[in-house]
Structure 1
């Protein structure tokens, strides 16, 4: 009887310990986010992988890692289906209502990726600026001014200066030729008015033509400058009316939505969005600067893309923790703080080409 009792107690203890072990095994979710989480065939590497392994090893935390999409990972963490997300999650006021966060380990910002314009596109843009309807109207008005003063001068000169301003239709052409040469200050000297009223007409051409051409030139220069500024934008506000992309459920999407962007395309990851940007399906891709920078630098198919010198939406990265896991959150945060204060952490960041803001 005693033997049976001890066997029974042993079995209960065994199952209790086994159950405790399963319960204490953390479910850790991740989504690829180079250079923080890099999928290299069956291996995982990157800054966050290195940091999590150090933390888990130092705290003796057993864990099982699971790959998910970014949006699914966030939903699983909110629902308590996973214990930890080791992605570089941005700490936001909305997320902190549903998630716990560790101590921040990296600070960054958002930026804008665009496709470089080809030489043909730049020429097309330049010609488009020149041949707008307003410019064509201006050139037509300039031609009318030249024709008017050329005809007027011909009327005054045709009888007293027939060598320069011939009679008939040829004389009208002579007047037009003279007005163009005079207004453009070429000054061939082959034709010139000799009568008093011919010289008055010439004076009217020079004064009115000079004022008109100056205004037309300024208008063209202004339009070209505006187009150049549009191409080399200095603020993310330039894209509010244009189709842009970002990662689904990311803090960048929340930022764009709050700042009234009209046409936001969401992607499950960065690569599909950058491919659409390359194919001109969207005009800009807005996301975390270190991730975009790494992707474009490492992927030769994205060499046509570039990052604009625009920085906004400062972000603090941390691991996400299941809500109400306060002790786990405290322990991990304490160890992260100890690690990032070492020179080893600086070496890891430098290895992946990152520096904090």
Structure 2
């Protein structure tokens, strides 16, 4: 009898657990009755990897696949209509479509004119760099001919020339055997300033006049500080450029060759930050220039960079971790839409599932982009 009682209790507990799980899974927000039996109009903008067309002409992508799953969960029927970005936003504002699906970022200006779902993707501007690192020799050569090192060397040569001309002007009449007339004498003066600065002091050229020797004394003391400054600056530049890569984040962009998509958010952000950019008509063209060595970095929306890397540039391009100028992507609805609440609940139920996110993002963005 005792065993029968325990078995009965176990079966009852199992039934209650299954029933409870089923009840939990069925807790979707009911769709407003006004949408019952209706075929919704969904507006899209082609924006890989969020919305694109497969070889058969069917709409696919991160945003579109997610919308299809949400619509299936809610039992919604819909037709798809393609727009440009501005046209879609106008259609959402005017109620021409029931929902807008694409890489639609949530901004204060848009939020004031329409409603948005909970965000389904959080990202921002990413930085693509070459995946194949330069050899040590190439990095050293690049560092030696960098603008910073060339500035130090040029400044040093100009200073040597200035001091050389000065000592030649003071010594050319009283000391012609050491500081010859004309251009040769200027060369003698520059040679003297160089050997004096480096403390070599061959003695083949020495000033004899009072003013010449006074200049020599000042130059000797000044050379100690100047040489230390030049040495430290050049050493620091060579060490940083040689031991580390060129680009590690946004702070490095002002110092390197940067590409952007013309008329993109990346162009607007970098130009506003007074960073020089090279403009390209397509992302593919920009990444190709990066691989060919014409650029040190290419800046664009990070998920789109992941998409192109995953599709066409695997092994050639590396996307730096992290992003800047963050953006949230969501579905857009007309103001006061009665559909938004139901979509939000279904959307969140999907996105809390780690396995589902991997299935949604993985095919388009690669494993490294799965959040």
Q: CA deviation at 1:27?
A: 1.2
Find the aligned partners of 1:254 and 1:24 in 2 and give their Cα distance: 42
Q: Secondary structure at the match of 2:194?
A: helix
Q: CA deviation at 1:169?
A: 5.5
- Choose which of 157, 169, 182 in structure 2 pairs with 1:139: 157
Q: CA deviation at 1:214?
A: 5.0
- Choose which of 59, 62, 80 in structure 2 pairs with 1:47: 62
- Choose which of 332, 335, 354 in structure 2 pairs with 1:343: 354
Tell me how large the CA RMSD over aligned residues is: 5.6
Please say if residues 149 and 205 of structure 1, whose CA atoms lie closer than 8 Å, have aligned partners that are also in contact.
no
TM-score by length of 2: 0.60
Q: CA deviation at 1:178?
A: 4.8
CA 1:125–1:277 in 2, change beyond 3 Å: closer, same or farther? Answer: farther
Please say if residues 41 and 79 of structure 2, whose CA atoms lie closer than 8 Å, have aligned partners that are also in contact.
yes
Corresponding residue for residue 304 of structure 2: 291
Q: CA deviation at 1:321?
A: 2.0
Q: Secondary structure at the match of 2:282?
A: helix
Corresponding residue for residue 103 of structure 2: 88
Find the aligned partners of 1:277 and 1:45 in 2 and give their Cα distance: 24
Q: Secondary structure at the match of 1:90?
A: coil
Q: Verify: 1:99 aligned to 2:114, yes or no.
A: yes
Gap runs ≥5 in structure 1: 1-19, 159-164
Q: Verify: 1:325 aligned to 2:341, yes or no.
A: no
Deviations 1:230-279 (A, max 9, x none): x857349959xx9965667xxx489859x9578999x9xx9636647977
Q: Verify: 1:36 aligned to 2:46, yes or no.
A: no
Gap runs ≥5 in structure 2: 1-33
Q: CA deviation at 1:25?
A: 0.8
Give the stretch that moved more between structures: 92-101 or 347-356. 347-356
Find the aligned partners of 1:92 and 1:174 in 2 and give their Cα distance: 68
TM-score by length of 1: 0.62
Give the stretch that moved more between structures: 58-67 or 205-214. 205-214
CA 1:339–1:210 in 2, change beyond 3 Å: closer, same or farther? Answer: same
CA 1:336–1:206 in 2, change beyond 3 Å: closer, same or farther? Answer: same
Please say if residues 150 and 177 of structure 1, whose CA atoms lie closer than 8 Å, have aligned partners that are also in contact.
no
Q: CA deviation at 1:45?
A: 2.7
Find the aligned partners of 1:213 and 1:262 in 2 and give their Cα distance: 33
Q: CA deviation at 1:98?
A: 2.2
Corresponding residue for residue 3 of structure 1: none
Corresponding residue for residue 326 of structure 2: 314
Find the aligned partners of 1:174 and 1:314 in 2 and give their Cα distance: 61
Say how many residue pairs are matched. Answer: 315
CA 1:200–1:70 in 2, change beyond 3 Å: closer, same or farther? Answer: closer
Please say if residues 160 and 194 of structure 2, whose CA atoms lie closer than 8 Å, have aligned partners that are also in contact.
no
Q: Secondary structure at the match of 1:94?
A: helix
Deviations 1:69-104 (A, max 9, x none): 222222222222211122132222222222222222
Alignment of 1:36-75 (within 5 A): 36-42=50-56, 43-75=58-90
Deviations 1:190-236 (A, max 9, x none): 737699989887655433444455566678789999x99xx857349
Q: Secondary structure at the match of 2:103?
A: strand
Corresponding residue for residue 195 of structure 2: 181
Corresponding residue for residue 161 of structure 1: none
Q: Verify: 1:26 aligned to 2:35, yes or no.
A: no
- Choose which of 170, 173, 191 in structure 1 pairs with 2:204: 191
Larger radius of gyration: 1
Q: CA deviation at 1:63?
A: 0.9
